[in-house]
Amino acid sequence: MIEARAQIRADIVSEARRVLDVAAGVPLRLLGGVAIAVSLPGEPLLPRPYNDIDFITAKGEGPTIAKLFEELGYEGDHQFNGLNGHRRLLFYDLQNERRIDVFVGRFEMCHMWPLERRLTVTGRTIPLADLLLTKLQIFALNEKDQRDILNLLHGHKLMEQDADGINTAYIAELCAADWGLWRTLTMNIERARVAVQRFELAPHDEKIVVSRLDDLRRRIDFEPKSTKWKLRARIGERVKWYEEPEEVG
């Protein structure tokens, strides 16, 4: 048994790192806003509060993860986990009033892609390209999401592979195969670009994030689109192209 209940840390980013340290050897990776904070080489460009920690684990690892978090001092949502543990798990830090949300096997929100195949590409967090995708795929983007997008793009270069940067080739390939994902991502790139002005960044920082948003859009546009994409594009926005995420907890 891990004697860790009293060791849950008040600082949420530090706590996320503690969980990952204890879970070494388990296919557990961070995603969401805290993951972006963990990935950055320094402080976020646009700080924001974090209310929960999101993870993803491999299919079939639910029982292992449930035991891990309970030993780490978290209270499991036994009713929810009993019904949904094959795809999602919830745990609570009652002292700090925080929630842990663990996706099991696949990531399902407004859009879905085979994220579970990439859990071993990088350590601690999901790959940076997937981190960006988890934010850009949100149809009802809010200010916290916009801050996360700009923080990630400010802190990491755009690359054509996963090592040491955001893999734009991977993002472009996914968008070229899925018109719905393409539509939401390109829409949110424009939303994020508009948001830059509202945040009143220093000129140097603004130049970095705007140029990377523009470069990402150009890379997505450059990728040849699939036949499936072209057929769906003919229908366009007349048919809903995204899912409404379920409210849990």
Neighbours of 191 (CB within 10 A): 14
H helices of the chain, in order, are 12-22, 32-39, 62-71, 78-84, 128-136, 143-155, 168-177, 179-199, 203-222, 227-235
The reported pTM is: 0.94
Return the bridge partners of 98, or none.
93
Query: Quick one: what percent of the chain has pLDDT higher than 70?
Result: 97
Return the bridge partners of 31, or none.
54
Indicate the fold that domain 5-238 takes in CATH.
Beta Polymerase; domain 2 (3.30.460)
110 phi and psi, to 5 degrees?
-75, -30
pLDDT at 5 over 70: no
Predicted local confidence at residue 249, as pLDDT: 60
**Cβ proximity of 169 and 161 under 8 Å:** yes
pLDDT at 101 over 80: yes
Neighbours of 207 (CB within 10 A): 12
Domain boundaries, the chain: 5-238
- Per residue in 34-90, pLDDT (tens digit) is 999 999 999 999 999 999 999 999 999 999 999 999 999 999 999 999 999 999 999
Predicted local confidence at residue 7, as pLDDT: 86
**CA atoms of 40 and 215, how far apart (whole Å):** 20
- Per residue in 118-159, pLDDT (tens digit) is 999 999 999 999 999 999 999 999 999 999 999 999 999 999
Mean pLDDT of 218-226: 99
- Confidence band of 1 (pLDDT split at 50, 70, 90): very low
List b or e across 62-85, with b for residues whose CB sees 16 or more CB atoms inside 10 angstroms: beebbebbeebbbebbeeebeebb
More confident site: 245 or 40: 40
List b or e across 138-167, with b for residues whose CB sees 16 or more CB atoms inside 10 angstroms: bbebeeebbbbbbbbbbbbebbeebeeebb
Predicted local confidence at residue 248, as pLDDT: 74
Predicted local confidence at residue 171, as pLDDT: 99
CA 47 to chain centre: 17
Predicted local confidence at residue 225, as pLDDT: 99
- Per residue in 181-217, pLDDT (tens digit) is 999 999 999 999 999 999 999 999 999 999 999 999 9
Q: What is the dihedral of CA 118, 121, 123, 128, to 10 degrees?
A: -80
